[in-house]
């Protein structure tokens, strides 16, 4: 028996650890288990409370009947005394004494039953309040968990979509563009310093010089023509 009991305890312990791990990963299950356990306790306590109240009511009924019997016995005793019925009076006197003791005993039992029923009802209300608080706490804590999970997911997404990665990816493009610009500038500088470039520069200067010379000759011819025209006009006058 001891071996099998140890195996059973070991199995219970294993299940307890297994359930505990599940509840850590799924808090809603932990809350449901606690709430269900409290509801089960409330149901048992409610049955026990009903039994206590039923016993109190039964004692109260017995007490009420005993008090009426005592009142009747005292009334009969007074009547027997008035009628000088001593034998009956003695019996009724003993009966009254017995009823007095019984009423006192029932009053004690009723007071105890009354206290028990009040305590049971108070415990019942306490458990009911705890159940309601657990339900409210469950909704509030699960809402907090969902909000926290949402924030964690957002943070993970932001860290996974780091802006630095995009900027780093563009660094190569920027370097390539700068390199092309530098190459274009170098090609221009080299073309200016090459033989063909210098020759073209000289030809441009020559053309510019020839154009200036032709412009000067054109101006001189026009000035001479205007001078001749003016001379002819003066002679004709």
pLDDT in tens, 169-217: 677 677 777 777 777 765 665 555 555 556 566 667 777 667 677 777 7
Which of 135, 131, 127 has the alpha carbon at shortest distance from 48? 127
| Residue 84 φ/ψ region, left for φ over 0, alpha for ψ in the -120 to 50 degree band, beta for the rest | left
User: In the 8-state DSSP scheme, what is residue 237?
Assistant: -
Percent of the chain with pLDDT over 90: 21
* Whole-angstrom distance, CA of residue 222 vs CA of residue 224: 5
HSE of 51, CA atoms in CB hemisphere, 13 A: 6
Can you tell me which residue has the tokens 């004692």?
A: 59
pLDDT in tens, 108-145: 999 999 999 999 999 899 988 988 988 888 888 888 87
Q: How many residues are listed for the chain in this entry?
A: 237
Q: Compare 102 and 174 and report the one with higher pLDDT.
A: 102
**Cβ atoms of 124 and 47 closer than 8 Å:** no
């Amino acid at each position: 028996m001891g071996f099998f009991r140890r195996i059973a305890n070991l199995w219970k312990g294993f299940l307890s650890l297994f359930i505990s791990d599940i509840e850590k990963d799924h808090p809603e299950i932990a809350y449901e288990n606690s709430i269900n356990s409290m509801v089960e306790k409330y149901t048992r306590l409610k049955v026990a409370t009903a039994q206590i109240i039923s016993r109190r009511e039964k004692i109260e009924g017995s007490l009420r009947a005993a008090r009426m019997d005592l009142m009747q016995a005292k009334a009969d005793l007074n009547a027997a005394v008035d009628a000088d019925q001593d034998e009956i009076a003695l019996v009724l006197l003993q009966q009254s004494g017995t009823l007095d003791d019984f009423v006192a005993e029932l009053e004690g039992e009723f007071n105890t039953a009354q206290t028990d029923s009040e305590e049971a009802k108070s415990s019942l209300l306490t458990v009911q309040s705890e159940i309601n608080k657990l339900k409210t706490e469950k909704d509030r804590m699960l809402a907090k968990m969902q909000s926290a999970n949402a924030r964690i997911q957002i943070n993970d997404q932001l860290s996974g979509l780091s802006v630095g990665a995009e900027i780093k990816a563009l660094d190569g493009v920027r370097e390539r563009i700068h390199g092309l610009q530098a190459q274009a500038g170098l090609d221009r500088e080299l073309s200016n310093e090459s033989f063909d470039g210098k020759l073209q520069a000289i030809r441009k200067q020559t053309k510019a010089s020839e154009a200036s010379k032709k412009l000067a000759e054109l101006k001189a011819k026009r000035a001479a023509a205007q001078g001749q025209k003016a001379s002819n006009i003066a002679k004709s006058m």
